[in-house]
């Protein structure tokens, strides 16, 4: 039987993540609820960036999870599982995407989806995770991001029904979360690395203003990226400590 998610559909909102956080604050949120908006006027991205998405063209939604089965130190697995579910969904549509560490979803070098996870912990317990996903579906022109963004429609040459896309993507998320719920982290961890952009490839990276050659050889369960340098040394990076050139 298919999993059922309670969905709130909004025509317009500031940000679905912010909306869901307000529902949590006022005690109105229920486990696994989904807030889906046709338009966000203050969509938020990682690192205080904005997330731009034309009205009624793309998916912008957030999910509330209470991953009590996950220790806060293992929260990166949630990141991996969500990234993989988008990869799975796109693959079902013949779109072969990769995960740019930590969780940008790319086709070639262009971004097709972004993920913003906002966590809350109480001591050593996961209280909740608000998982915000923006997936470019039918938008074809990205004025400020022409060489950086792409949509499903640009790749498939046809419009997609947003409700169906949401439904199928939620199914894919449910399937990946099952692994986490039963503590089967190794499948998630291995699949994440197999779908990682530039995994085991030599490429150029930048720290501060200095470029260097390196090869991604691992991602730690805590999320750090491990890059092998030309001198044989392996360096570990936290998000934003290293830039992909
Ligand atoms: C990123 O790549 O920077 C993350 C983008 C996340 C965007 C989604 S859209 C739905 C949810 N609501 C938000 O305000 N942001 C996330």
pLDDT digits (tens, 9 = 90+) for 61-117: 999 999 999 999 999 999 999 999 999 999 999 999 999 999 999 999 999 999 999
Same fold, 7-194 and 202-244: no
- Residues with CB under 6 Å of ligand 1 are 15-17, 40, 43-46, 49, 51, 60-62, 104, 114-116, 132-134
**Pocket of ligand 1, candidates 35, 44, 103: which has the most ligand atoms within 8 Å of its Cβ, to mutate?**
44
Q: Cα of 21 to ligand 1 centre, how many Å? A: 14
- Does CATH place domain 202-244 in 2.30.30.100? yes
pLDDT digits (tens, 9 = 90+) for 168-212: 999 999 999 999 999 999 999 999 999 999 999 999 999 988 999
pLDDT at 125 over 80: yes
Residues in the chain: 245
Residue with the nearest Cα to atom 3 of ligand 1? 45
DSSP state of 232: S
Q: How far is CA 95 from CA 46, 81, 86, 147, 171, in A?
A: 24, 18, 10, 18, 17
Q: Cα of 50 to ligand 1 centre, how many Å? A: 8
Q: How confident is the model at residue 2 (pLDDT cuts 50, 70, 90)?
A: confident
77-90 residues labelled b (16+ CB within 10 A) or e (exposed): bbbbbbbbbbbbbb
Domain 7-194 in CATH: superfamily?
A: Bira Bifunctional Protein; Domain 2 (3.30.930.10)
Q: Per-domain residue ranges for the chain? A: 7-194, 202-244
Q: Cα of 229 to ligand 1 centre, how many Å? A: 33
Report yes or no: 234 and 195 within 8 Å, Cβ to Cβ.
no
Residue with the nearest Cα to atom 7 of ligand 1? 134
Task: Kindly report the pTM of this predicted structure.
Answer: 0.96
Check residue 240 and give its pLDDT.
Answer: 85
pLDDT at 1 over 80: no
């Amino acid at each position: 039987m298919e999993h059922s998610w309670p969905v709130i559909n909004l025509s317009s909102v500031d940000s679905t993540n912010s909306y869901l956080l307000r529902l949590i604050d006022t005690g109105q949120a229920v486990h696994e609820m989904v807030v889906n908006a046709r338009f966000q006027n203050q969509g938020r991205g990682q690192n205080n960036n904005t997330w731009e998405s034309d009205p009624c063209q793309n998916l912008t939604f957030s999910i509330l999870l209470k991953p009590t089965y996950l220790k806060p130190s293992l929260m990166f697995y949630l990141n991996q599982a969500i990234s993989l579910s988008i990869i799975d969904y796109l693959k079902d549509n013949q779109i072969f995407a990769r995960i740019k560490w930590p969780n940008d979803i790319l086709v070639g070098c262009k971004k097709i989806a972004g993920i913003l996870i906002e966590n809350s912990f109480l001591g050593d317990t996961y209280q909740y995770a608000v998982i915000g996903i923006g997936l470019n579906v039918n938008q074809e022109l990205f004025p400020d991001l022409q060489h950086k963004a792409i949509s499903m429609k640009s790749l498939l040459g046809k419009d997609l029904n947003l409700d169906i896309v949401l439904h199928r993507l939620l199914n894919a998320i449910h399937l990946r979360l099952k692994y986490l719920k039963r503590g089967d982290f190794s499948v998630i961890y291995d699949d994440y690395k197999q779908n990682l952009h530039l995994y085991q490839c030599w490429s150029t990276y930048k720290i501060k203003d200095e470029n260097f050659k390196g090869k991604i050889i691992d991602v730690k369960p805590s999320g750090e990226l491990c890059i092998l340098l030309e001198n044989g040394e392996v360096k570990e990076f936290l998000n934003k400590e290293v830039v992909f050139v």
